[in-house]
Each structure stands twice: as structure tokens, then as C-alpha cells.
């Protein structure tokens, strides 16, 4: 658990973080969102002690972070940033193994860990371990950055706009991978973004900060349905709220158990937002649905976008 208590930090007399308090539970995926300059990066840097607060305290697993040794913090907190920060003259293997090497792991253990992480992030180890950062695409560099943050198996992962510079396709696939890593590893993740769709796609809790203070926090749905002020409304995009709400639910939650109908099927693990798009582009009122094995799973009707079929008489 991470407990941030009334932390303040200013630079040259200007407050970047103002008496901010926040608790993040073990295994939680929390998103810090805010405009540029709102204090997001500063908050992450306070968590891993790249910066020290002017006042207030931060506890990790019940112990003030100033009482953890630098090694302990390095092992327990992984950090990934947008500009990746890979060392250009180090190979992929050396970059990923940087923290384990600092922690004096044996060479064979580091090599095995690098292979394991490259595989996890879909970079074939034999092909990639000896490359240098400039021999990688942006998306591959970002994967290596994530692998490096995971290297010493930290229980907390801090990610500062890790996918910011990527094209939408690569970005979506890395988001998916990160969601899977979170699901299987149970790690605590705090991710910073200014992209509301990324926040909604990934976060269990979204925390909007402005001028170094928390403006609103809550589950994605609450954020969309009850924005507390104009800033939040602007962030969630008033005219797109309905579409974003559809993005939070899966077709599987609404599909009707009916015999298959003709047409190109849509997968039950797609979102209702994707279904809306299919309805509109194909000019259809109903779509055949298949499960993850491609087997018929029923039919989704346009009206089902509004609610569960079982709740209403037909």
C-alpha cells in the first residue's frame, strides 16, 4: 500500500504539489490524469525519491520511504517514462538488466530474467537482446522501457506517460499488454497520462489532478456520469460521454442468447463502443456475436446498447 499524506512540493516558490493526500492499495491500477503542468510527473518523482517533499510524508508498505534503503526502493518500485531513457550505448540486455546488476544479481539470473521479460513483451530474446536502442522502433523501445521497469520484479510500477509518443495502433496493443501484466502479476500500478481514453481503458480508479491538488477521483463510470466541475467535464469530453460509457462495457454483458443470424460476426469481448461503430458503419440493427473461439454466442441488437435485455420486457 502507498499512503501519501499532505505532501507539498514547490519549485522556486511555485507550488507544484499542494497538500496532496492519496492512498493506493496493493494490486490497484490507478491513473493520474491532468493537464500539462498539473503536477503528475512531480508526484511520481516524489514517490520514488527522485524528489523530496517540502512537507508531508509518503509510506510504502507502512514504512516512510525515507526509511527504506535506496536498494530497497529500487527493487520495490519500477519506473518507466515516455522518453524511455534507455542508455544508448547499452544493449537491450544491459538496459533491462540495469537494476538487477545494481542489486548484484548473478549474471545467469540476470540473463534468464531478461529472456523472460523479452518474451513477456513479445520481443524474441535471440533477436533483440544484443541490439542497441537506435536499432529499435519506438514501440520496441517502449517495450524495453517497460521490461526494464519490471526487471527486479518490483511490487509497484510507476509509469509516466509511457505510451505517449506512439502511434494509436502500437499504443493500443501496449495498453492491452500492460492490462494483461497487471491482471497476471497483481502489481500496484500508478500510471500518468493526459489521455482520457487511456485512463478509461486501463484504470480501476482515475485521479484527476490540477495545480497539484486532487480535483476528483473515482471509478471510470462515476467519472463519466458525475463530473464534479467544468474541468472534469471538459476532460471527459461532454459530447463523447455516451460513447465513452459504451467503451466500459463488453458485448458479452448484453448479448442475447439467440440463434445465429447472417452477417459478419463481432466478438463478445469487444466493447459496446466497437459494437456501436459496427452498427453505424454496416447500417445494421443486429449483429451476430461469436465468443473467443469464434463459436456463435448469440445476437446483439442496437437497443441493447442502452441496457441489459433481461431488465426490460420485449
Ligand X SMILES: Nc1ncnc2c1ncn2[C@@H]1O[C@H](COP(=O)(O)OP(=O)(O)O)[C@@H](O)[C@H]1O
Give the range of 35-43, 124-132, 176-184, 232-240 binding Mg ion by CB under 5 A: 35-43
> Residue 220 binds what, of Mg ion, ligand X, none (CB under 5 to 8 Å, by partner type)?
none
The size of the interface with Mg ion (CB under 5 A), counted in residues, is: 1
Residue 79: name the closest of 111, 50, 118 by CA.
50
Going from the C-alpha of 130 to that of each of 94, 95, 111, the distances in angstroms are 9, 10, 12
The size of the interface with ligand X (CB under 6 A), counted in residues, is: 11
Binding residue (CB under 6 A) for ligand X from 2, 4, 16, 30: 16
> Residue 91 binds what, of ligand X, Mg ion, none (CB under 5 to 8 Å, by partner type)?
none
User: What is the smallest separation between the CB atom of 33 and ligand X, expressed in angstroms?
Assistant: 9
Q: H or E segment at 57?
A: strand 55-60
Binding residue (CB under 6 A) for ligand X from 11, 21, 57, 306: 11
Residue-wise DSSP of 193-261: ES-HHHHHHH-SEEEEEETTEEEEEE-HHHHHH---SHHHHHHHTGGGHHHHHHTTSBGGGT-B-----
- What per-residue string of b and e applies to 170-191 under the rule 16 or more CB within 10 Å gives b? bbeebbeebeebbeeeebbbbb
Q: Does 42 bind ligand X (CB under 6 A)?
A: yes
Q: H or E segment at 280?
A: helix 272-282
Question: Quick one: 81 or 147, whose CB is closer to Mg ion?
Answer: 81
Q: Does 52 bind ligand X (CB under 6 A)?
A: no
Question: Quick one: 165 or 261, whose CB is closer to ligand X?
Answer: 165
Q: Does 41 bind ligand X (CB under 6 A)?
A: yes
Q: Does 41 bind Mg ion (CB under 5 A)?
A: yes
Binding residue (CB under 6 A) for ligand X from 40, 113, 148, 244: 40
Give the range of 32-40, 143-151, 179-187, 228-236 binding ligand X by CB under 6 A: 32-40
Q: Does 265 bind ligand X (CB under 6 A)?
A: no
* Rounded-to-integer distance, Cα 167 and Cα 184, Å: 26
Question: Quick one: 165 or 276, whose CB is closer to Mg ion?
Answer: 165
> Residue 11 binds what, of ligand X, Mg ion, none (CB under 5 to 8 Å, by partner type)?
ligand X
Going from the C-alpha of 101 to that of each of 54, 106, 155, the distances in angstroms are 32, 8, 18
Q: Does 42 bind Mg ion (CB under 5 A)?
A: no
Give the range of 36-44, 52-60, 133-141, 220-228 binding ligand X by CB under 6 A: 36-44
* Rounded-to-integer distance, Cα 231 and Cα 165, Å: 25
Q: Does 38 bind Mg ion (CB under 5 A)?
A: no
> Residue 34 binds what, of Mg ion, ligand X, none (CB under 5 to 8 Å, by partner type)?
ligand X
Q: What is the dihedral of CA 168, 26, 225, 231, to 10 degrees?
A: -70
φ and ψ at 6, to 5 degrees? 45, 50
> Residue 39 binds what, of ligand X, Mg ion, none (CB under 5 to 8 Å, by partner type)?
ligand X
* Rounded-to-integer distance, Cα 160 and Cα 146, Å: 11
User: What is the smallest separation between the CB atom of 194 and Mg ion, expressed in angstroms?
Assistant: 8
φ and ψ at 23, to 5 degrees? -115, 130
User: What is the smallest separation between the CB atom of 190 and Mg ion, expressed in angstroms?
Assistant: 13
The answer to whether the Cα torsion of 254, 256, 257, 260 is positive or negative is: negative
Question: By the criterion CB under 6 A, which residues form the site for ligand X?
Answer: 11-12, 16, 34, 36-42
Question: By the criterion CB under 5 A, which residues form the site for Mg ion?
Answer: 41
Amino acid at each position: 500500500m502507498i499512503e501519501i499524506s499532505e505532501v507539498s512540493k514547490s519549485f522556486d516558490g511555485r507550488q507544484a504539489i499542494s497538500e496532496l493526500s492519496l492512498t493506493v492499495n496493493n494490486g490497484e491500477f490507478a491513473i493520474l490524469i491532468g493537464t500539462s503542468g498539473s503536477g503528475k510527473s512531480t508526484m511520481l518523482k516524489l514517490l520514488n525519491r527522485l524528489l523530496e517533499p517540502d512537507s508531508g510524508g509518503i509510506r510504502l508498505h507502512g514504512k516512510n520511504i525515507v526509511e527504506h534503503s535506496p536498494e530497497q526502493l529500487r527493487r520495490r518500485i519500477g519506473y518507466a517514462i515516455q522518453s524511455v531513457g534507455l542508455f544508448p550505448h547499452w544493449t537491450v540486455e544491459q538496459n533491462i538488466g540495469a537494476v538487477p546488476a545494481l542489486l548484484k544479481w548473478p549474471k545467469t539470473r540476470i540473463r534468464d530474467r531478461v529472456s523472460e521479460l523479452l518474451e513477456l513483451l513479445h520481443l524474441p530474446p535471440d533477436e533483440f537482446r544484443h541490439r542497441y536502442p537506435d536499432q529499435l522502433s519506438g514501440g520496441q523501445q517502449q517495450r524495453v522501457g517497460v521490461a526494464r521497469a519490471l526487471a527486479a520484479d518490483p511490487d509497484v510500477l510507476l509509469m509516466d506517460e509511457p505510451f505517449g509518443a506512439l502511434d494509436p495502433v502500437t499504443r493500443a496493443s501496449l495498453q492491452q499488454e500492460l492490462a494483461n501484466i497487471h491482471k497476471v502479476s497483481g502489481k500496484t500500478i500508478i500510471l500518468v497520462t493526459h489521455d482520457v481514453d487511456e485512463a478509461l481503458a486501463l484504470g480501476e480508479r482515475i485521479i484527476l489532478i490540477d495545480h497539484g491538488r486532487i480535483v476528483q477521483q473515482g471509478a471510470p463510470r462515476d467519472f463519466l456520469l458525475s463530473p464534479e466541475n467544468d474541468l472534469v467535464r471538459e476532460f471527459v469530453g461532454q459530447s463523447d460521454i455516451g460513447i465513452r460509457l459504451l467503451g466500459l462495457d463488453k458485448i458479452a454483458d448484453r448479448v442475447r442468447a439467440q440463434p445465429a443470424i447472417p452477417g459478419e460476426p463481432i466478438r463478445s469481448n469487444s466493447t459496446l463502443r466497437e459494437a456501436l461503430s459496427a452498427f453505424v458503419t454496416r447500417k445494421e440493427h443486429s449483429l451476430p456475436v461469436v465468443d473467443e473461439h469464434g463459436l456463435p454466442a448469440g445476437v446483439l441488437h442496437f437497443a441493447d446498447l442502452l441496457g441489459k435485455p433481461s431488465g426490460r420486457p420485449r
